[in-house]
Structure 1
Amino acid sequence: MIFPSLASLAVYVPALLSGFGLTAGLIVAIGAQNAFVLKQGVQGMHIGAVVLLCCVYDIVLEACGLAGMGGVILAHPGLIEAVRYGGAAMLTIYALRSWRAAWRGATSLTAQAAPELVSRPARPAPWATVSAAVAGAQGGSAGTTIMARGSGPLARANGNRGLRTEAGSLRKALMTVTLLTWLNPHVYLDTVVLLGGVGGRLPWPSRGWFGVGAMAASCIWFVLLGYGARRLSGLFARPAAWRILDASIGCVMFAIAASLLLARFPA
């Protein structure tokens, strides 16, 4: 038989569920990465790209853990220390920015550049009609209609500027996800060391099914978090709710930064 039977696969269900449950317990928590995905989901900005990148990063980290990368990380404590202080500095900056946004309090969800949620005015037709009243020779009036295509230099410049702004916003979001992921030593200790330590004790192919469960838990969580947060968009149309969210995210980021500085990592 080319494909294994269901009876032969049933023996790997405990390993699959173990990987899924352990990863779910580690990832379903208020953290820097989850807070950012939540905010992007509420804004409705680049949800698919942010969720996809988070899934890819988690899959890479989990695969490294199952491959035995945890021992390499524990053998180089200086690497953890560098990530520790760099991550604490980055999280502190992000917390201060969130608190500043909460203090200003001049934004709501409708004021954000969220293409999926903000209602936009109707786009003008490609051919704009310009009417010019031309006086006739006999004192009459003749309506002369001139058709001008809305694609001149100014229109092209505005369109290009909008594309650059959208691309810059996407790059900023993806860069933030990258920094929040890789400058957090807890990511390495939890996902690579702990998860890899548990799954790494299993023989193949049970170890592979453990990894499948872990990766499935990560992907399901980020999809639910990112796209589920969009249902809160009505609530965050009010500036007061948005200020509370910004202040809360700032507190989460600052608390994680403090925990990085105060925690004692294995030497």
Structure 2
Amino acid sequence: MSRPIIAIGGTYGQAPPTSAFPTLRRIFTNEGYVSKLEQSGASVILIPNTETNIDTLISLCDGLLLPGGPDIEPSLYHQERHPSCGKSDVESDTFQIALYHAAKKLEKPIMGICRGCQLINVAEGGTLFQDYMMRENHLIDHPDLAHFDKVSHLVTIQENTRLASILGSGEVGVNSLHHQCIDVLAPDFQCMARSNDGCIEAIECTTGHWVLAVQWHPESMDEGMLPLFKAFIEEARKRLSPV
């Protein structure tokens, strides 16, 4: 069986001082995304930050994953920067937003994880809380870095959502590596899961496009989260040309 090709949007990171090129940035992704995608039946490529040929690059792939990363530039959702907002890289933000729109235009399935979930919401006209503590209710510790690969808290998955068809409705345990979260949900999207203090933890597109995003990091958890990746890969496989 052919393996669909999943593109991961690259993120800029500064090279360490010990590098031969300490003043240059690196384009990277975490190995957890690659290993879970490959385990689920995909081949993976990393798309570097570029301003050219984005449509061509996306056309070579069968799906797009938007990964975690730094805070999103607040001006992209029409807000002034709050002191609680972390450092942003507007080049990575605008590049990954362009990737998202190119993939959606070509009807490629799209999965967002953590920052990727927030980025999709911003790309579609939604807004973010620049820090979780800015919410009226903030009963859960975000981020919970000590449990990066374990359950930190529960979320409740709504019935009759794509996420419920994958993981089942009701409560499921997730990790938490974010300090920002969705405030105003984008038009044409719905919430699929919330934490017990009301924070939006998963969203999906309601216009027929296969766009699914979660606020937690399933690539860092055990195989209980593998169905998320397998559902994504199965959708990408439908886009493969018959051999």
Could you say which TM-score interval applies, normalised by the shorter chain? Answer: under 0.3
Structure with the greater alpha carbon radius of gyration:
1
TM normalised by structure 2 equals 0.20
Q: Which has the higher helix share?
A: 1
Of structures 1 and 2, the one with the larger relative CO (CA 8 A, separation 6+) is: 1
